[in-house]
Amino acid sequence: MNGNHKTRSCAELHVIPVLSDNYCYVCHFDESALVVDPAAAAPVIQLLEEHALKLELMLITHGHADHTGGCRELERKYGVSAAAVSDGMRIAFAGSEVLVMHTPGHTADHSCFFLSPAVGAPLLFGGDVLFGGGCGRVNGGAYEAMWSSLLRLRALPPETRVCFGHEYTLDNLEFALSVEPENQLVRTRLEHETARLADSGVTAPSILREELLTNPFLRADDPVLQAAVGMNGAAPLEVFTFLRRRKNTWG
């Protein structure tokens, strides 16, 4: 090997289950690590130590306690505080860049983070906006903002790995199937995710391509879904709002 020709390794991703159903993520290139939504510090510290990683960046999607609980302890231990972010900002990380996308809807200040490494598939840290098979609760009636946020995420490269904030995938897909009982793609994904969850304990990350096909909240403008809910030709925002409200009281 030529020592002058060092190629950076792929971004390696660790999914850390925290609290009852939250996910925190550690992503690293070689020893340089970033953490997203550390709800608890201890499992993050343990992972960083086990893999001899250096924490360089802390990202928070939104201010809910189940995403921020471990921040202060990590800050004290590593001297890295949560990055102050705004839409369109590019944060340098380990020779790569994290794009900040302001994605209001779940909260007014919610951000998602998009990391496109030189090698391997891009990563989206979707917090409580985009879930496996679903989307986050809309607070304060911000349906239009949420739909616009989902449209922005939908436009990312289809091979993007979606790192979501909660393990709700099976419940979401069961809801999706209740909306479209005839949708074989949803049915197949539900089977596949059920097996995956039993096998590994997590369904994260998902692939955006799969979300585009099976996540009803990304398909409010899809004539097939519109027909299934009897809203042919309706404005996508109306269909999205109908679906999200229905999910609130479902199950």
According to the binding rule CB under 5 A, does residue 37 interact with Zn ion? Answer: no
Please say which residue, 146 or 186, places its beta carbon nearer to Zn ion: 146
Please say which residue, 128 or 193, places its beta carbon nearer to Zn ion: 128
Report, in Å, the least distance between residue 140 CB and Zn ion.
Answer: 13
The piece of 58-66, 174-182, 206-214, 243-251 that touches Zn ion (CB under 5 A) is 58-66
Report, in Å, the least distance between residue 38 CB and Zn ion.
Answer: 14
**Angle made by CA atoms 229, 108, 94, in degrees to the nearest 5:** 105
Residue type at position 180: E
Report, in Å, the least distance between residue 120 CB and Zn ion.
Answer: 28
- Decide: 162 and 196 in contact? Cβ < 8 Å: no
Quickly list DSSP for 63-111: --HHHHTTHHHHHHHH--PBPP--TT-EEEETTEEEEEEE--SSSTT-E
Site string for Zn ion, 112-141 (x = CB under 5 A): ----------------x-------------
Could you give the CA distance from residue 147 to residue 29 in angstroms, rounded to a whole number?
33
Please say which residue, 128 or 171, places its beta carbon nearer to Zn ion: 128
Report, in Å, the least distance between residue 216 CB and Zn ion.
Answer: 20
Please say which residue, 128 or 211, places its beta carbon nearer to Zn ion: 128
Which of 14, 28, 64, 189 contacts Zn ion by CB under 5 A?
A: 64
Interface size with Zn ion, residues (CB under 5 A) = 2
Residue 135's contacts (CB-CB under 8 Å, 6 or more residues apart) are 129, 146, 150, 215, 217, 218, 244
Could you give the CA distance from residue 45 to residue 101 in angstroms, rounded to a whole number?
27
Closest CA to 169 of 200, 144, 123, 138: 200
The residue ranges that bind Zn ion (CB under 5 A) are: 64, 128
